[in-house]
Structure 1
Amino acid sequence: MERPPRRAARRFAVALAAVALAFAAAPAGSARAEEAPRFTVSAVSEIAIGSDGIGKTIFYAATAVNAANPRFTIDVSQVAAFATLTPIDDDICAVAGGKVTCALPGGSYDNFLVSFILAPAGGAKVGAKGTLSLVAKAGNTAEAAAVTKVTVADGFDLVAIDGSDGEQPAKPGDDVWIPATYVNEGNRDADDSAFTFWFDSAFVPDEYDGCTYTDWKSGVEVTCPLGESLKPGEGATFVTEGGSGQTPGFHAKITADAARYHRVGFTADPSAGGLELAQSLRSKVSSKKATGGRKFSAVAKAKPPARARSVEINDYDNYADTEFKVANTIDIAGIGATAAGAAGDVVKVKIGTKNVGKGTVDAHYAGGDPSWRYYLVVPDGAEVVAVPDECDGLWRENDATHAGHVAGKRFYECANRDELFSPGASATVEFGIKITQVIANATGTVSFQHPLLPEVVSKDDNPANDLAEVVLNPAGSGGGSGGGGALPLTGAQTGLVITVGAALLAAGAVLFVLTRRRPVVLVTPRDGGAQ
């Protein structure tokens, strides 16, 4: 029964009620060794099944921490009159007395998926409702519960099948193939559907005849209509036609500046109209339908009998994605400055960062806005009197760390809000700093090290240029007005900056020691469900 934790079915992540699923199952590390035992199981909160359909695949996702003999039981009595729940994993689950009991491995893991087929029983009536009630418990944990509401509905149900095999290694210039398959698990024909892909900034998708391309600031949306109905139980797989035959998947090329983590999303689009976005957003971009490139087609099927147009009965499972880790370097350098003035003068100091590497920083995959954070340590004998919009002061008071858009602080955190921070690009801000005391070579720093936290918040692949100086009244300036420019930290100045940090520690300061066209073939899923 021992097996590794299972990879999460990402299309269910948004619907799980109890626990947010990660993109991949992660075995527990030594950090969990001292954690208190825990065992929870998550499930979709609501689900619909077609009244006379093939049934649909559903998943329960277990998370365990030092759990002994973990198991969960699903009470199916409230749906027994109109539905059946059959374990796909019959080696770990058993059905008896109106309940399904599943015994899982002990230990620690995330997102161990246990799958079932939930199918309508004979005579199921549209509108029937019930619940699947789950209780999870390990030998050393308290009970945890989850409830799924089940409704019998009438309509089609497009389900995207996750055909990727975990995070894939890649490098700039690589050719990649994006798998895309979806199945109609409802009880009505899906009359109008499409493959819709979202390629982020790291990919250049091929042109496929008949597909519509919409360029967004952060990527390209491609919608390829299937062009025919899908009967219940039928599925469609995107394939590319070529001189050597058919290749499953949509072809794209990774850009020269792609780096780190990127993803291509795929949606089984029930309307063939592209991703659901506000019309106000769509009106700001242009879309065009390709009339050249590779051909997109579907294997001919007998035309299904005419039926009334139906609706999608579950829309939470239409999504899948393919993840890549691109081997390329990110190198962001700090930009420092110099300025000079007499006591009482306010000088302008422009600092920031520059991308001097080969890879683009994509804000979305850098943890969201901003794409990069950097920090100013103000030189001695100076006070910030004008704070740029992108920056906030940092300080510690009454054993708590604070941040705010205020002047007069020693430390500042600044945000580069470029959605895509590309090679050669710079992001700078300008501070107004009042010289309160003329000190020759008064030195502060620009860096990616949070001054009140122990770790580097924004990390790149070349730390050698992460730190730059901010020098007021450099030797020989004569105390007059000065200009700017990054100064590398070397020699005596390096010692000065390190000494400043050491002095703060010695003084007992609690440094919170302060983070393009191709075809489709129709397929029928095995065992009547998506696997």
Structure 2
Amino acid sequence: MTPKSVLRRIGAGVAALAVAGTLTGVAGPAQAAEAKPNLSLSFQNDANLNNTPTTIGTYVYNYGDAPATGVTVTFDASAVASKVNVSVPDWNDDCKLSGTTVVCQYGSLAAGAVDTIYGVVLASKLRATPGDAGSVLVTIKSTEDTGPGNTVPLPVTIVASGPDLVALAEDIGSKDDRVGPGDTVPLVGAVHNEGDTATTDIFVSWQLPGEGAFVERYDDCVYTDYRDHPDPPGYVYGPSFVTCVAPLVLQPDETVLLFDPATDKSLFNATFGKNLAGPEAARGFLEVGLADQELIAKTRQQAKGGPSFAAKLKEVTTRTSSAKRAAVAEELDWSDNLSEFQMWTKPNTVDFAVTTEPVTGSVGDIVEIPYTVVNNGPSDGAAGWEVIAPSGTLLLRSEWCYGRDASGDLLDESTTQLCGIESAFPATASGFSGISSKLRIKITSTPGSNGTITVNSYGPSPESKPENNVAKIVFGTSGNGDTGDDDSDEGGAGADSGLPITGVQAGLIGGIGGAVLIAGATLFLLARRRRLVLVVPTEDGSGR
């Protein structure tokens, strides 16, 4: 309870006694105390800052007995501006930054209410001296306040940041100079220490855009490959992910290049095959950080005296001066631990085809119709397929396929279904023979000839043979004399009933889909260091 609220309660008690006195004494005028807001604030977390942005949570209170209107909260960081960077959360439209001051328009705060605002983001400037940095002055004020409002200081302390590695990567090609099947391209990247402490062992990880492979095979790097058999001639299916460790001492504000600026030769080169999808701006990633002991041990164990990434990196670093490395790095994209880069690919095509087998049945039967969807390439792609039931039939739930009502709920029986796989759809040259499955159909009356399966490509590579994209669902004559409408092109346009029904190669499609999942995980990491956090992750993964 604040002193003001105590006085109000004492005043209210005196007024009550005066009213009671009118029962035995002379009546006099009674005047109630005017209800007013009483604003205050405190902080959810301390401002112990390194160079990772930290959002400050601020509690706002109204201890008064009347609502406060037009409430503003002002963060004046002018006293710490030489050591601290000030910003506003991207998602907060109520707070605006002007110079070193943030003003948040809160609005109304009811009597007795408390709320939390996240109006300011603070981070230490590059290599700011650790220790006391002063205070941010935070003021809460309402329309009802006639004075300057209630101001509370937020003490700021700078703490050591440790090593803070930044990944720098350059795009591959451009809209006018695209990468296509058969091309080999260099990967241009660098590592910079933006922290205040030297590094020891660092790791470097590349994720290639699209399906490709690294040309180099360093002994002290770990390559991830999702295939256990050789690529067909002209096709490339990895390894498309690599992690390397180097025992490198990188001083604060020092840069190491992953290429030689004197010769334009890179430590990492990538090659691509006929299956490269396009045209598109495919995304790849370069991630850097401090290597833990497990990763160091893993890379050392597999070293067999072959080409060494650490030795190659040392060679390039020795030949290039620190000033030159810093100048070259300035031209690259700075995105902290993880840098996303793009690769523009040349146009390519897919050739999706769907085939079915004829089936017989009687009214009341539930029959299964085998079908196969393949991608004849040459490009890898992505696709879904739609099933329309012949008149006189209903589609039942089956593998890969589902029907929904207008509300989006799954149906046990439907006249149309959508189908697909949650993965890339490789070309048949990869060894993936497509999706072979069966539709389940319930015959309610004599089946018509208007049933179809239509495959639709939705990857970047366009379809080269649309005539292969539709197959008819064909009913023949059943053993008991019931008939359906026959069709001379059994299996529909582009059909080939000789295709084997082999099922899904889970290992292959899961592996290629795994590359997509790694890219997705890396995207999550993209926000790891620049996101606004109250508990800040360190380079080694622990919290501080």
Deviations 1:272-302 (A, max 9, x none): 67999xxxxx9xxxx9446434762313499
The equivalent of 2:337 in structure 1 is 318
**Distance in 2 between residues matched to 1:350 and 1:331, nearest whole Å:** 20
**Distance in 2 between residues matched to 1:254 and 1:131, nearest whole Å:** 57
The equivalent of 2:268 in structure 1 is 250
Letter in 2 for 1:360: D
Give the 3-state SS of the residue equivalent to 2:467 in structure 1: helix
Give the structure with the larger helix fraction: 2
1:375 aligns with 2:386: yes
**Distance in 2 between residues matched to 1:349 and 1:131, nearest whole Å:** 73
Shift of 1:427: 0.8
Shift of 1:458: 6.7
**Distance in 2 between residues matched to 1:76 and 1:488, nearest whole Å:** 71
The equivalent of 1:428 in structure 2 is 436
1:31-110 aligned at under 5 Å gives the runs: 49=50, 76-77=77-78, 79-80=80-81, 82-83=83-84, 98=100
Match of 2:365 among 342, 345, 358: 345
Q: 1:207 to 1:222 in 2, by over 3 A?
A: same
Gaps of 5+ in 2: 1-46, 55-73, 88-96, 103-122, 139-155, 227-237, 321-333, 496-544
1:472 aligns with 2:475: yes
Match of 2:283 among 260, 263, 272: 263
Q: 1:409 to 1:121 in 2, by over 3 A?
A: closer
Match of 1:415 among 408, 416, 420: 420
**Distance in 1 between residues matched to 2:166 and 2:374, nearest whole Å:** 44
The equivalent of 2:491 in structure 1 is 486
- Who wins on radius of gyration, i.e. which is larger? 2
Please tell me whether the aligned partners of residues 126 and 154 of structure 1 are also in contact (alpha carbons under 8 angstroms): no
Letter in 2 for 1:354: V
Shift of 1:207: 2.2
**Distance in 2 between residues matched to 1:193 and 1:131, nearest whole Å:** 40
1:207 aligns with 2:216: yes
**Distance in 1 between residues matched to 2:274 and 2:137, nearest whole Å:** 51
> For the aligned residues, what is the CA RMSD?
4.8
Deviations 1:20-76 (A, max 9, x none): xxxxxxxxxxxxxxxxxxxxxxxxxx99646xxxxx999xxxxxxxxxxxxxx9974
1:461 aligns with 2:449: no
**Distance in 2 between residues matched to 1:204 and 1:47, nearest whole Å:** 44
**Distance in 2 between residues matched to 1:219 and 1:318, nearest whole Å:** 22
Give the percent of matched residue pairs that are identical in Structure 1 and Structure 2: 19
Letter in 2 for 1:384: L
Where relative contact order (Cα < 8 A, 6+ residues apart) is larger, the structure is 1
Please tell me whether the aligned partners of residues 333 and 354 of structure 1 are also in contact (alpha carbons under 8 angstroms): yes
Give the 3-state SS of the residue equivalent to 2:395 in structure 1: strand
Shift of 1:319: 0.8
Q: 1:48 to 1:444 in 2, by over 3 A?
A: farther
Give the structure with the larger strand fraction: 1
Letter in 2 for 1:393: G
Shift of 1:410: 0.3
Q: 1:83 to 1:301 in 2, by over 3 A?
A: farther
1:44-443 aligned at under 5 Å gives the runs: 49=50, 76-77=77-78, 79-80=80-81, 82-83=83-84, 98=100, 119=125, 123-125=129-131, 152-164=159-171, 169-199=178-208, 202-217=211-226, 219-239=239-259, 245=263, 247-248=265-266, 250-260=268-278, 261=280, 262-271=282-291, 288-289=302-303, 291-293=305-307, 296-298=312-314, 299-300=317-318, 317-327=336-346, 328-361=348-381, 371-385=382-396, 387-396=397-406, 400=407, 402-404=408-410, 406-423=411-428, 425-439=433-447, 442-443=449-450
Q: How many pairs were matched up? A: 344
**Distance in 1 between residues matched to 2:157 and 2:425, nearest whole Å:** 43
Please tell me whether the aligned partners of residues 393 and 407 of structure 1 are also in contact (alpha carbons under 8 angstroms): yes
Give the 3-state SS of the residue equivalent to 1:190 in structure 2: coil
TM-score of the aligned structures, taking structure 1 as reference length: 0.53
Please tell me whether the aligned partners of residues 442 and 473 of structure 1 are also in contact (alpha carbons under 8 angstroms): no
Please tell me whether the aligned partners of residues 343 and 438 of structure 1 are also in contact (alpha carbons under 8 angstroms): yes
Deviations 1:293-333 (A, max 9, x none): 4762313499xxxxxxxxxxxx9820113322332212212
Q: 1:389 to 1:289 in 2, by over 3 A?
A: farther
Letter in 2 for 1:372: A
Please tell me whether the aligned partners of residues 74 and 99 of structure 1 are also in contact (alpha carbons under 8 angstroms): yes
Shift of 1:394: 2.7
**Distance in 2 between residues matched to 1:131 and 1:206, nearest whole Å:** 57
Please tell me whether the aligned partners of residues 75 and 137 of structure 2 are also in contact (alpha carbons under 8 angstroms): no
Give the 3-state SS of the residue equivalent to 1:438 in structure 2: coil
**Distance in 2 between residues matched to 1:359 and 1:158, nearest whole Å:** 37
